[in-house]
A and B are shown apart, each in its own frame.
Chain A
């Protein structure tokens, strides 16, 4: 067989992609020390059209999803942007499933497809399979089967109870889906071998199909049914202050119909599945970018990518890690690809070529094998601890990071809000530690999701549901939206709902 050589204009063919993947797999195994099939889930590469990519966008990447108008809204706004040329489509889409599903868009040239396979098929795949939060919170092996069940069940409810009824439950559930996170981990599920997994799934499929039939006939589900549906059994006792609002309502709402409860459970499950993605965005994109860049460079060194293909790749790569400064009108916070890539690349540099400064800041990294250090950073953390532990003074200097304290002051006498910004830290010796902590803190959930707790419900008395909003840094809730959400909660609860702010 002739040597595989890819230049910037080479079109992809199925055979070429397979050979390219074999080459990627060698580098992944030998140099990144991630063995496909062992340290990575098996990859399923799917070639799709642009329109199918838009489809995938709108169902937040899941290949199967229940139907809801909001996904149609997502599709149309993406399609509009794409048609107007305002947006290129992302090069990749990857699903945290086993096998790991990677979408490849048909119009990409060969070198782009290779970059995507390295980025998603190695990088994201490795994070899904190894990161402690993904392993603890998601079941890559069963998500697609669960979504098949969810889609069929909701379709069935639509037929039986009407589109509007179902839509109302989903609207309400979506409005509090951010508040469906369990504070404490569920029982840890060890990974099964592939064979075990497949036979377990098949058995479960059979059982689920039977159970589904039963549900479809009876319309109501009993407790034992939900158990048989493969839904881990739920705690019935609640913390004194419960943060999982959706779950609480699902379990305790006095008169909620069974099928509505089941829909809440579906939304809870889907959200649970996605819950690690937000808090690991930076390290996940960082590791994927680190992986693709490493692999692409090695492919060029091995002569598989010609230098013009590598130049063309670098153009895409620099686009991916472009970080506008605060003055730019394109600025919208940190680009997680750029930040994660910068941090991980610097971890490798510190292992390989430490400076005096690094010895002082990262004594444990100096002299460590970079493969071990980079993987530990990407697999054992969430973004907040990842940044707290690995953001180096060099990266802070490179990015010219600085912190600004913003205070909004509401003047009740004049009825307007004044805002004051003060620069608090800059990228110098005194500032590094504080900038690092501030950036780590900003990745904490409380910054983008207000804390709402269930204080309890007077189930013996008038059944009022009591919620409380805990202000953080003096921030208040947007009232219009809060009232609308409370209206939704009202519908689900069926009795009075009170929220103290």
Chain B
């Protein structure tokens, strides 16, 4: 296009090739904000339905209104039903002065004055739906098992392309026609609806006219019939013309727009993961009341979901203890009703023998996570160091976490013993959980990636 001197009164510029994707940084900031909010969130229903709840299904995370809250832009505005307003409405069809005017339909309510106040309407219609999978992916994104080591030293980790949905940009070879078509359909429907309706009507009319014409065909036609034939011919030409016009109009709505195009997306995925075993010890003794058990289960559910999603090849070991240690299946672990006294050391002993029997500790990343209210039988506290440290169990572990579930400080015996080990070994993370929401803080404290800075 021609560029005129700046003194001209106009200039045409073709912007289509340049200045694209201007809002990209804004969209990136939006995503960042949503991700931040998800990471900070403390979903209420994390253990709803137990283990199945956190692993199965792609349903939306409810009632996690994370995105709604984090995308809200508050301003000062009037409460919707307060005080008095004089509305000026359009289209009086029945009203006289002094009539009671029904407002329950909401018509005109708060809107009669023209532009609705900012933040009054519409603003929050925009909700980003986050599926359960997406939610957890983000939630666990910056978390990792500490000190995970590649145990397959000889085999180089391999990156394999894997189908990973669709994207808006890509090279022509990756264009997914079916997906793009689906994407374009509603837009084209909406933009051509009127024309198509009219087209159908006209086509039907044309058929009727043609039939009538066939009827009239023959010899000895009377004057009025001839006139009618004339009329039909004229109308048919008219209809034909309009049909052509409409077809062109429908055609002129672009089949695909840039916005509709979708390309298949491949992601490189690390196929060879390190072997790992994740072991859990849960205190189910009588001092663990319903609240504490719920919190403990929630803590383990979250870790369970984390492992299942990020380290799918990991073996899981479930141990629960009263004064005795039990090895459970997943289901038993999350639903057991056994109760009794408290001794912690037998669990360590049991784990140690499990490890020795089943795994090659030099080739396996071993993790341990334990939750208790700390109320150990006093005499057993003396057995902790022998069972955990001197037995060599701790040395085989990459990392161990201990979560004490109680309001206030509770019993400090077990805590103190473990703390004394933690003081010399960086392998142990000690956390306290006061209530349900503390589970998330504890989780992040343990598994948040340590930045090397």
Contacts and interface: CB of A to CB of B under 8 A. Distances in A.
Interface of A: 9, 14, 17-18, 21, 25, 36-37, 40, 42-52, 54-56, 58-59, 67-73, 75-77, 79-80, 82-86, 88, 99, 103, 106-107, 109, 121, 163-164, 167, 171, 174-176, 178-179, 194, 198, 278, 281-282, 323-328, 331-334, 336, 399-408, 410, 417, 419-427, 431, 435, 438-439, 441-443, 447-450, 452, 469, 471-482, 484-485, 488
A98 to B, nearest CB: 11
A434 B39 CA distance: 56
A333 B116 CA distance: 8
Nearest to B109: A406
A421 B13 contact: no
A323 B114 CA distance: 12
B222 interface: no
A69 B33 contact: yes
Contacts of A282: 114
B91 A326 contact: yes
B73 to A, nearest CB: 6
Minimum-distance CB pairs A-B, first 9:
A325-B91, A85-B190, A474-B83, A72-B30, A475-B83, A72-B26, A421-B101, A37-B9, A442-B113
Nearest to B13: A46
Contacts of A88: 191
B30 A76 contact: yes
B389 interface: no
B49 interface: no
Contacts of B165: none
Chain B binding surface SS class: loop
Interface in B15-66: 15-16, 19-23, 25-33, 36
A248 to B, nearest CB: 15
Contacts of A403: 86-89
Contacts of B118: 178, 448-449
Contact of A175 (B75, B81, B116): B75
A72 B11 contact: no
B9 A25 contact: yes
A422 B98 contact: yes
A79 B20 contact: no
B79 interface: yes
A401 B83 contact: no
Contacts of B96: 423, 426
A99 B11 contact: yes
Contacts of B74: 175, 480-482, 484-485, 488
Nearest to A177: B75
B178 interface: no
Given A175-B73, A400-B92, A404-B108, A448 B117 contact: yes
A112 B128 CA distance: 35
Given A82-B187, A178-B75, A400 B260 contact: no
B99 to A, nearest CB: 4
Interface stretch (B226-234, B251-259, B294-302, B427-435): B251-259
Nearest to A400: B92
A179 B186 contact: no
A326 B90 contact: yes
Interface in B68-90: 71-90
Contact of B95 (A323, A423, A441): A423
A488 B74 CA distance: 10
A402 B189 contact: no
B84 A474 contact: yes
B99 A42 contact: no
Contacts of A484: 72, 74
Nearest to A487: B74
B102 interface: yes
Contacts of B98: 422-423
Nearest to B10: A43
B126 A76 contact: yes
Report which residue of B15, B28, B116, B186 has the largest number of chain A beta carbons within 10 angstroms of its beta carbon. Answer: B15
Given A326-B90, A404-B89, A50 B26 contact: no
Contacts of B186: 83-85
Report which residue of B11, B76, B80, B112 has the largest number of chain A beta carbons within 10 angstroms of its beta carbon. Answer: B76
Given A46-B14, A326-B90, 11 more contacts: A68-B26, A69-B32, A107-B254, A175-B74, A176-B75, A326-B112, A401-B90, A406-B103, A408-B82, A447-B114, A477-B78
Contacts of A439: 88
Contacts of A52: 15-16, 19-20, 22
Contact of B88 (A75, A323, A438): A438
A163 B90 contact: no
B97 interface: yes
Given A452-B76, A485-B74, A406 B91 contact: no
B285 to A, nearest CB: 43
Contacts of A99: 11
Contact of B28 (A72, A400, A438, A448): A72
B195 to A, nearest CB: 11
A481 B119 contact: yes
B16 A106 contact: yes
Given A70-B73, A73-B71, A404-B112, A86 B88 contact: no
A172 to B, nearest CB: 10
A439 B86 CA distance: 9
B82 A14 contact: no
B125 interface: yes
Contacts of B23: 54-55, 58-59, 71-72, 75
Nearest to A308: B245
A198 B5 CA distance: 13
Nearest to A488: B74
Given A51-B20, A408-B84, A448-B116, A401 B187 contact: no
Contacts of B79: 475-479
B83 A47 contact: no
A47 B72 CA distance: 34
A409 B93 CA distance: 27
B84 A406 contact: yes
28 contacts: A37-B9, A43-B9, A45-B12, A47-B1, A49-B20, A55-B23, A67-B26, A82-B187, A83-B183, A83-B259, A163-B32, A164-B36, A325-B90, A326-B90, A326-B112, A327-B93, A402-B88, A403-B87, A404-B112, A405-B84, A406-B109, A419-B103, A423-B97, A431-B97, A438-B88, A477-B79, A478-B78, A485-B75
